[in-house]
Amino acid sequence: MSSLTVILYLAAVLDSSVPQRLKDLAFPQDDLEEAVESVLSEYFVSNHSAVIILRSARTGFDLEQLHSDILDRVMAQTSTSIAFMFPTTSGLSQRPCFYNLLLIDGYLAFQTVIKQIDPDRNEFGGRFLFVMTSADRVEKVTLHSMFSTLWSNNIVNVLVITKQYGEILMYSYFPYSADHCEYTEPVLVDRWDSGQGNVNLFPNKLANLYGCPMRIASFDYPPFTMIARNSCSGKIHLIGYEGFLIDTIARKFNFSVELVVPEGNPQWGVIENNTALSGAFKMIVNLEVNLSVGGYSVREERVALMEPSVTYHVVSLMLAVPPGRPYTAFEKLFRPFTLITWLMIALYLLLGCLCIVVLRFYPNSIRNFTYGRRTGSPLINMLNSFFGGALVRTPARNFARTLLFLWMYYSFVMRSLYTGSLYEFLQQNKTFSHISSIKHLESEGIPYLISDTFKAFLTAYPQVLRRTQTLEDNPPAEIFHNLKRGRLNAAVLATHDYIAWYNERYFREGVVHLADDVLLQQPICLYFPKRNCLTHPVNLQIENIKVSGLLGYWMHQYVGYRFYKRTKRTQKAPNHQHSPKVLTNEHLAGCYQALVWLLALSAGIFALELASTRFHWLRMVFERIE
């Protein structure tokens, strides 16, 4: 008797079931291997993704060996088209695997394998192929328990292949249908037969959610999210930039939005020691909602607890600064002309005075040729004609008349321009330029108001953090009302989009100014629970929306950047048409001040003229001026 015969005989004596199990499991598995190979070749081939393999056999060593045999043969047949990998303890792959092959021999093995599935290693929105090699009949109640566990882990794209009574059966579940929501009853997808493959074994189960509700956590954070209430039904709904985004995604996947506001409205919430303590963060981590939206930035501590979507907008963190000092009534008198214009006027007057002084050293014939005979004091006449006064005697010579005409024409143009512009400027509440840089804020010693959420972003600006006061995550509009009215002397950190939204809404009461420095730019996203099947299809839809250009269109429904289109030097206020107004005493306060100063100057000169009758040197000065 050969050694092989002895071994088989002893095995049969020790366990009479072994030969039957080997007969049922080892030899007739060629069709099961062929079915697995066919599914992998059709649905698991990608140039960019490997297939990760997990397995567990709890029934016995023979089934564990059977798994190895199946893998060896399948990998040998698909080695040219599919890359396989096994999980390692030394490190994780660069990104979660979309394709997952799992070999089990029963429900106990399934429970072991499901614990090995890790969101850092396995993409829960990917495809999962379970190969069940149980020798016993797989009951529907077992499949239902398996699918319920998979659904609780947000794993939807599932196919279970098993062999029963010589027939290869393929099961899956469809959580959404016209009659059910979150339904986990097993459905026989196909009976596999070599050469047949007309059934789509991995259909898009999330393409149509049949109006089933999706719980979405959000809060007021304009212009991204704003909670609105229907005046008739009283039901709350989401509007704003990301409200448009959620509505578009909801229409695409045909689900209804069940909006959930965090209790106490703590908005995003707090994360400490890798634990979500409050707000929307806590609701996401505890699987109370399907996703959350609210201008979320991508941050390391958040990604460790939740799964972000692709980013679709970039926010700029900037400092809202107090307005510049208002112009006094007297300072407004100088606003119609720019500095260069005032300098040119002063230059012309100075040249006129210089010519008069120089001509005093020339003969009377030259002075008479230039001024005219017996026309009085040339300096007084020059100033008198400049301000529109009348001359007692005009020159008779042509040259002197020509000079006078040119000077009067220049003076008329400048006075007309000045008085026309002054009418407008006297009615405007203008201020000096606001602070435009952190350096200027530091020199002025102005404190900063920054929320705890934003403080973590500013580690590169220690000079800012030194004088920082804590602010709520979403500053109320009242803070910006006080800031633009000059009642708050502080710099408030906010997003550029929020300030643009605020100015667009409240510009009639004035605008909030921003310093030129951009402290930080952050991409924003949606957040899902860590184990989630919606992330991948929603990401694809967001990418399509980004390409379409709708994101920019939606933002401009709530935000206008017209106040920030120009640089500081060329920035102008919007042109608001208005009817002429009667000037009030408040408008003319600067003119009254100028009148008082000029009357005081005239009174002083008159007093000096009276004093010149007693002081010879003073009389000589006045005679020189004349």
Percent of the chain whose predicted confidence (pLDDT) is above 70: 88
pLDDT digits (tens, 9 = 90+) for 312-326: 999 999 999 988 877
Rounded CA separation 65/18 (Å) = 14
More confident residue, 619 or 129: 129
Q: Return the SS3 of 286.
A: coil
- Residue 230: per-residue pLDDT: 85
- On the question of pLDDT at 439 being above 80, the answer is yes
Instruction: Give the ranges where 44-106 is alpha helix by DSSP (H).
Output: 61-78
Confidence at 294, pLDDT banded by 50, 70, 90: very high
User: Across residues 461-490, what is the average pLDDT?
Assistant: 81
Confidence at 330, pLDDT banded by 50, 70, 90: confident
Q: Return the SS3 of 21.
A: helix
- List residues bridging with 169 in a β-sheet: 162, 191
pLDDT digits (tens, 9 = 90+) for 13-64: 344 443 344 334 443 447 888 899 999 999 998 767 889 888 887 776 677 8
Nearest to 45 by CA among 202, 251, 259: 202
Across 33-150, the runs of DSSP E, i.e. the strands, are 51-56, 84-85, 97-104, 122-132
Rounded CA separation 483/446 (Å) = 13
b/e code 358-380 from CB counts within 10 Å (16+ = b): eeeeeeeeebbbbbbeebeebee
**301 burial level (CB within 10 Å; 0-12, 13-18, 19+):** middle
User: Across residues 180-197, what is the average pLDDT?
Assistant: 83
- On the question of pLDDT at 158 being above 90, the answer is yes
Rounded CA separation 69/76 (Å) = 11
Q: Kindly list the domain boundaries of the chain, sorted by start residue.
A: 31-192, 329-402, 585-625
More confident residue, 578 or 335: 335
- Residue 181: per-residue pLDDT: 93
In this structure, of 368-377, 425-434, 522-531, the range with the lowest mean pLDDT score is: 425-434
- Whether the CA torsion 277, 283, 285, 288 is positive or negative: it is positive
Q: What is the mean pLDDT of the chain?
A: 83
- On the question of pLDDT at 258 being above 90, the answer is yes
| Total Cβ atoms within 10 A of residue 113 | 18
Q: Token pair 């490190």 is at which residue? A: 91
- On the question of pLDDT at 471 being above 90, the answer is no
pLDDT digits (tens, 9 = 90+) for 566-597: 444 334 444 444 555 666 777 677 777 878 88
Q: Token pair 């002084």 is at which residue? A: 357
Domain 31-192 has CATH 3.40.50.1360: no
Percent of the chain whose predicted confidence (pLDDT) is above 90: 31
Confidence at 473, pLDDT banded by 50, 70, 90: low
- Residue 13: per-residue pLDDT: 36
Q: What share of the chain is helix, strand, coil (3-state, %, to 5)?
A: 45, 20, 35
User: Across residues 209-230, what is the average pLDDT?
Assistant: 93
